[in-house]
Amino acid sequence: MSPSKQVLIVDNNEEESRTLASMLERAGHTPTTTWSGLEALELLKAREFDLVLVSSYLPDLYVGDFFERFNRLPVQPCAIVLQEGQGRAVSLTKVRSMIEEEIHSEK
């Protein structure tokens, strides 16, 4: 089994966040979810994450501003931007593939 990853999901779409979190849990990873870009930045300062999945739309912070602040953090985990408007199946397939690539690149 792949080593467990701490994954932060930042998405205001509650259904998609739950689906991603469930998929990650079934794969043996530990997801944390938030809808808020500002809260996500605070979580990234307080805890260590291996991967961050960020929606391209955040209601409280422009995604460009999020990444400007993210890039100033002392530790920056791998980040994947989830495009708005894609079907959930497409997003989940891409995320699953990217997570597996990240896990295999660390071996």
Assigned token pair, 1: 């089994």
Mean pLDDT, the chain, as a whole number?
85
99 inside domain: yes
Structural domain including 18 reads 6-105
**Strand pairing partners for 33?**
9
Task: Specify the pLDDT at position 16.
Answer: 86
* CATH code where residue 12 lies: 3.40.50.2300
Task: Specify the pLDDT at position 1.
Answer: 41
Mean pLDDT, residues 66-88 = 84
Task: Specify the pLDDT at position 72.
Answer: 95
Task: Show the CA angle centred on residue 53, arms to residues 76 and 78, nearest 5°.
Answer: 30
Q: What is the pLDDT confidence band of residue 107, given thresholds at 50, 70 and 90?
A: low
Between 17 and 2, name the one with better pLDDT.
Answer: 17
Mean pLDDT, residues 82-99 = 63
1 inside domain: no
52 inside domain: yes
Q: Is residue 50 classed as helix, strand or coil in its secondary structure?
A: coil
H-assigned helices in 3-106: 14-26, 37-46, 63-70, 88-105
Q: What is the pLDDT confidence band of residue 21, given thresholds at 50, 70 and 90?
A: very high
